[in-house]
Amino acid sequence: MSAQFTVQATPAAREAGAVTQTVASLPETFGPVPAGHTGPADVLVVAGSGGWTAEAAGAVQSGARGIMVANPVPEDTSELAAVADAAGAVVVLDLRWAANPALVAEGSGPDARAAVRSGLGTASLLDSVATAPPGTDPRQLLSDHLAALLAVTGQLDGVAVLRRDASGYTVSGRLANGAPFTAQGVLTAARPAGVDIRLYTADGGVAVQVPDPDAAWPAEVRVTGPHGNLLLPTLYESAHRFAWRRLKEHLSAGTRPDDLAGFARLTDLYATLTAT
């Protein structure tokens, strides 16, 4: 039986999104364009480097029903959103850490977002560290980092860059209740790439560790309170695969995700920071 949706990707997009191996894990749903097939594929994968919104909009206008964007950089998504709305196309963003299923789960499953947001009212401090290898563009790291933070925290106020240099960056701001938050980027090859988010509350807190999506190692979400230390169920699914599975659900159900609206908030925040 052939797959339900055909997929096409440029070499750059294929590498950025680990497309081959990820699509291979959903073989009943996604597959390559058969030899001799003419016309656009059902799904086009776009690398998220500069200009990705225009490329994605062009693909929608050419007839693609689904767009997967691999690790997008902050860009104005309003035109793409309008084009996708008009065509009824599904645009899903495969974000390095923010797309991890432990951060925002399907349906009503337990996730980091619910755990963090339930603690924000009594928050004392949110402290986060993102790690990436030397040579990583600190601006891209900051974008990935902020995307993960916004996914779980919601409102961030008074955000400012304290420093940005060859070893990383430090960003600070305040949570909705006025408690401070800090986000530090550290460039090192001594540790695995990933993001660590710690929320400290009046009687405990939440610790979130999200790995890179190049393997299905699970994120860890631990909630500490008077009850003890609770490990949320571990999900051995990479951010890449979870993004593709969401694309499948929306294409199959004829529904639309809110990825672009969420990403617009990141773009706005990022623009504020890079302008200072």
Partner 1 sequence: MSHHAAAAGRPLGVGILGAGPVTQAIHLPALARLGDVLEVRHIMDVDAAVASSVAARVGAKSSTSMDELLGDPDVDIVAICSPHHFHADQVIAACRAGKKAVLCEKPFAMNGGEAARISAVSAETGVPIVVGAMHTFDPGWLAAEQNWGNLPDTAHTIRSSIVLPPNARFEDFATEIVTRPAAGRPDFSDIEVIKAALQGGIMGLAIHDLPLVRRFTPDFEQVEVLQARHVRPFGYTVSLRTPSRVIELRAVMNGTWKPEWTFEAIADDSALRIDFTPSYVQAGSAVATFTRSDGSETTSFGPYGHNGYEGEWRELAGLANGTLQAQSAQTLIDDLTFALSIAEATVATGAADHANATRTAGVSA
Is residue 43 a contact partner of residue 66, using CB atoms and an 8 Å limit?
Answer: yes
Residue 59 or 92: the one with the smaller Cβ distance to partner 1 is 92
Taking the complex as a whole, how short is the minimal distance between the CB of residue 191 and partner 1, in angstroms? 5
Is residue 223 a contact partner of residue 201, using CB atoms and an 8 Å limit?
Answer: no
Q: Cα separation of 91 and 68, whole Å?
A: 6
Residue 72 φ/ψ, nearest 5 degrees: -75, 145
Of the candidate spans 36-44, 51-59, 87-95, 170-178, the one that interacts with partner 1 by CB under 8 A turns out to be 170-178
Of the candidate spans 40-48, 57-65, 66-74, 162-170, the one that interacts with partner 1 by CB under 8 A turns out to be 162-170
Q: Cα separation of 143 and 268, whole Å?
A: 11
Q: Please give the residues from 224 up to 243 whose contact with partner 1 meets the rule CB under 8 A.
A: 224, 226, 229
| Closest CA relative to residue 75, chosen from 47, 52, 56 | 52
Residue 29 φ/ψ, nearest 5 degrees: -100, -45
Q: Is 196 a binder of partner 1 (CB under 8 A)?
A: no
Q: Is 201 a binder of partner 1 (CB under 8 A)?
A: yes
Count of Cβ atoms closer than 10 Å to residue 106 Cβ:
12
Of the candidate spans 75-83, 88-96, 161-169, 238-246, the one that interacts with partner 1 by CB under 8 A turns out to be 161-169
Residue from 61, 109, 203, 252 in contact with partner 1 (CB under 8 A): 203
Residues 244-273 vs partner 1: string with x where CB under 8 A? ------------------x--x--xx--xx
Q: Is 164 a binder of partner 1 (CB under 8 A)?
A: no
Is residue 187 a contact partner of residue 166, using CB atoms and an 8 Å limit?
Answer: yes
Taking the complex as a whole, how short is the minimal distance between the CB of residue 233 and partner 1, in angstroms? 21
DSSP-derived secondary structure letter, 258: -
Q: Which residues contact 50 (CB under 8 A, 6 or more apart)?
A: 73, 75
Binding site for partner 1 (CB under 8 A): 124-125, 127, 129, 133-134, 150-151, 153-160, 162-163, 165-168, 170, 172-174, 179-180, 182, 184, 186-193, 200-205, 224, 226, 229, 262, 265, 268-269, 272-273, 276
